[in-house]
């Protein structure tokens, strides 16, 4: 007989009651299986990395060039000839970012005892800070390299000095420490002990780059006699250093110099090397600074750049951040509402010289979750232009969707039966020809008033306004210039409570100071009186938000709820051809003025419901 049946019934009832109480007291999922899914783990913040490269080139040692990259492998030009010193050369520029500014240290001449310092806020425009006389009786002062990774956080520079009886020989690396934040006052140079000329390495060591990993300092230095990059380590930045890799220890070969190292997001390292005799640039990867992959040519820049330095720039994206709104590089966004969805039509960005050739469409039910619908219009399908696809604007009239767009610095018109396209050329020629009104015929915006009358606005350098014909491909009135003070480009017009608002961009899209301004009028053709509270949208350097401009505006149908859609420099390290689309809330004061808009990473919450 089973044991349970041998127990008294009262005991069994008591045991069952106790078990019921215990089960009720234990929360689901603790101590028993409830069948419920465990709560999802909170998403960690994401780090976005981009890279900045400063160098001189094979064509000029008196000008510094600046490049950017998403992956430390494929680089684009940020600014050619970004800096020319007031005198001397700008070889071997080493870059850091500190206190919101960029600094480069550079070789000022083949001979002498100075190195130069220059600074920039935007990476494009640089100004001379000082030529630093380091105080050592040196024949040559070469390749100053910033080092900022000591535990004390101080800025240091490692520089190669030739102090022997003969110029261009007997080089040894010295290190200096900045004495203030201006980087104009420096300590007396100290030699890096253990790295010095010898009877066999009589030319000594140049181009020394230091990386700290844990408690160990790794110095990668060019043996100027053997023309190879060698590896030494120490437990202090000043040494003494012990060589771990002599000769061709890494298998890179010889005739290399200008080595610089950047940390990669996976925790590894990438070294860049100048193959100066064959005019090629190389890179090699490592996980531990001791074992390196075979060198590979650096795409695009090989044969162009010479000795420079690469740094990583990072930005944090939190799990609830909704900006950027669209993936990848996009600019000049136009937004509309159709078929129960919001639609964005941007310029496809990331191309040198704004050389994109197509427009894409994106849609969303709530202004947050966006779906890409592919190409809406390809300039390859036009008969009159195949380049520079910029700034589309789309509106619905009747059953047709009309796209006004810039191409070849002219304005074209295309139409479609669907907001996602495909759009087809409606004229076979420009509606506004290049230079027809004495300025760039770009950045169209189309607005349909409450009575169904369509208007077109456009122009860079001049703000033109005209009433369109009801056929949407002709002018009912001749365009009139209504340019307000400060206007540069990107007009957009909307109506609220019987008043007409025009917004436009000031400064240059390549500038961090690119910003949005607005004015108000009683007529859709203006003139628009510039508001006193401008700019209404501008940069926030504290959050790495720069170049906020070229916007459009969307009203939630049936509600007095408004949003601004605009572009900004991609964060971090973007520029005027590497931009991203963002969306933020736009609010009005009781008197109808627009409140100053704070650009954010958080963006907006999903828009719920409409009355249309």
Tokens for 557? 């149908």
**What DSSP assignment string belongs to 409-454?**
TEEEEEEESSTT---EESSSS-SB-TTTTSSB----EEEE-TTS-E
Q: Quick check: bond before 535 cis, omega within 30? A: yes
**What DSSP assignment string belongs to 315-328?**
EEE-TT---SSSSS
* Residue closest to 151 by CA, chosen among 48, 236, 43, 88: 236
Would you state the torsion angle of the CA atoms of residues 434, 439, 445, 450, taken in this order, to the nearest 10 degrees? -110
Residue 12 Rama label (left phi>0; alpha psi -120 to 50; beta) = alpha
Do residues 325 and 583 lie in contact, with contact meaning Cβ atoms separated by under 8 Å?
yes
Q: Quick check: bond before 324 cis, omega within 30? A: yes
Q: Which of 257, 332, 443, 584 is catalytic?
A: 332
* Local structure of residue 42 (DSSP, 8 states): P
Distance in angstroms (rounded) separating the CA atoms of residues 482 and 463: 6
> CA angle at residue 71 from 68 to 76, to 5 degrees?
30
Tokens for 179? 């004495």
Distance in angstroms (rounded) separating the CA atoms of residues 313 and 49: 6
Token pair 């509600």 is found at 559
Token pair 């232009």 is found at 385
Q: Active site includes 489?
A: yes
Tell me how many helices (H) and strands (E) the chain has.
Answer: 2, 39
Longest dimension (CA), the chain: 108
Beta bridge partners of 581: 567
**Residues whose CB falls within 8 Å of the CB of residue 271, separated by 6 or more in sequence, listed in order:** 220, 259, 260, 261, 283, 284, 285, 286, 292
Q: Which SS3 state, helix, strand or coil, does residue 155 take? A: coil
CA distances from 421 to 383, 415, 520 (A): 18, 8, 33
Do residues 387 and 403 lie in contact, with contact meaning Cβ atoms separated by under 8 Å?
no
* Local structure of residue 41 (DSSP, 8 states): P
Distance in angstroms (rounded) separating the CA atoms of residues 463 and 454: 17
Distance in angstroms (rounded) separating the CA atoms of residues 209 and 142: 12
Tokens for 376? 């809406």
Q: Which SS3 state, helix, strand or coil, does residue 183 take? A: coil
CA distances from 448 to 338, 341, 411, 563 (A): 14, 19, 18, 18
First to last CA, the chain: 74
Distance in angstroms (rounded) separating the CA atoms of residues 288 and 269: 8
Residue 72 Rama label (left phi>0; alpha psi -120 to 50; beta) = left
> CA angle at residue 313 from 108 to 115, to 5 degrees?
10
Distance in angstroms (rounded) separating the CA atoms of residues 351 and 52: 17
Q: Which of 207, 313, 489, 507 is catalytic?
A: 489
Residues involved in catalysis? 332, 489
């Amino acid at each position: 007989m089973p044991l349970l049946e041998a127990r008294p019934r009262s005991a069994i009832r008591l045991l069952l009651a106790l078990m019921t109480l215990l089960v009720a007291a234990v929360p689901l999922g603790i101590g028993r299986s409830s069948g419920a899914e465990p709560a999802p783990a909170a998403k960690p913040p994401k780090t976005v990395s981009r890279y900045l490269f400063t160098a001189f080139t094979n064509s000029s040692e008196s000008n510094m060039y600046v490049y950017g990259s998403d992956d430390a492998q494929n680089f684009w030009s940020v600014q050619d000839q970004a800096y020319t010193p007031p005198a001397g050369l700008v070889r071997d520029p080493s870059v850091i970012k500190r206190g919101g500014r960029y600094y480069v240290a550079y070789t000022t001449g083949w001979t002498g005892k100075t190195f130069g310092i220059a600074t920039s806020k935007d990476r494009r425009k640089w100004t001379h800070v000082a030529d630093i006389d380091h105080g050592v009786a040196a024949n040559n002062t070469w390749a100053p390299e910033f080092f900022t990774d000591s535990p004390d956080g101080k800025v240091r520079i490692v520089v190669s000095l030739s102090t022997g009886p003969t110029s261009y020989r007997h080089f040894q690396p010295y290190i200096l420490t900045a004495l203030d934040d201006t980087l104009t006052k420096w300590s007396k140079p100290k030699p890096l002990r253990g790295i010095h000329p010898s009877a066999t390495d009589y030319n000594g060591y140049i181009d020394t780059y230091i990386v700290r990993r844990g408690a160990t300092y790794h110095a990668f230095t060019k043996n100027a006699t053997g023309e190879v990059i060698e590896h030494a380590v120490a437990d202090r930045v000043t040494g003494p250093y012990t060589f771990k890799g002599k000769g061709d220890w890494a298998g890179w070969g010889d005739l290399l110099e200008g080595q610089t190292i950047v940390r990669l997001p996976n925790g590894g390292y990438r070294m860049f090397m100048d193959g100066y005799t064959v005019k090629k640039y190389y890179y090699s990867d490592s996980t531990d600074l001791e074992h390196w992959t075979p060198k590979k040519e650096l795409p695009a820049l090989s044969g162009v750049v010479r000795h420079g330095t690469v740094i990583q720039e990072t930005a944090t994206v939190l799990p609830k951040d909704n900006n950027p709104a669209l993936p990848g590089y996009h600019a000049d966004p136009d937004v509309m509402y159709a078929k129960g969805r919001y639609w964005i039509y941007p310029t496809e960005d990331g191309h040198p010289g704004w050389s994109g050739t197509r427009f894409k469409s994106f849609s969303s039910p709530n202004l947050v979750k966006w779906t890409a619908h592919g190409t809406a219009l390809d300039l390859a399908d036009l008969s009159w232009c195949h380049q520079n696809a910029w700034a589309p604007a789309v509106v619905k009239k009747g059953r047709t969707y009309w796209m006004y767009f810039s191409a070849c610095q002219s304005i074209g018109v295309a139409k479609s039966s669907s907001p996602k396209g495909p759009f087809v050329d409606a004229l076979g020629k420009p509606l506004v020809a290049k230079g027809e009104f004495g300025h760039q015929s770009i950045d169209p915006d189309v607005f349909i008033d409450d009575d169904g009358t369509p208007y077109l606005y456009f122009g860079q350098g001049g703000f033109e306004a005209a009433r369109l014909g009801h056929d949407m491909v002709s002018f009912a009135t001749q365009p009139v210039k209504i340019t307000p003070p400060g206007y540069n480009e990107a007009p957009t017009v909307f109506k609220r409570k019987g008043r007409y608002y025009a917004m436009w961009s000031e400064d240059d899209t390549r500038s961090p100071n690119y910003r949005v301004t607005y004015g108000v009028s009683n007529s859709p053709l203006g003139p628009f009186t510039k508001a006193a509270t401008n700019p209404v949208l501008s940069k926030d350097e504290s959050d790495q938000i720069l170049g906020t401009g070229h916007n459009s505006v969307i009203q939630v149908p049936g509600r007095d709820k408004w949003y601004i859609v605009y572009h900004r420099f991609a964060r971090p390290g973007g520029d005027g051809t590497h931009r991203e689309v963002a969306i933020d809330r736009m609010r009005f004061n009781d008197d109808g003025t627009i409140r100053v808009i704070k650009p954010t990473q958080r963006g907006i919450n999903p828009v719920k419901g409409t009355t249309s």
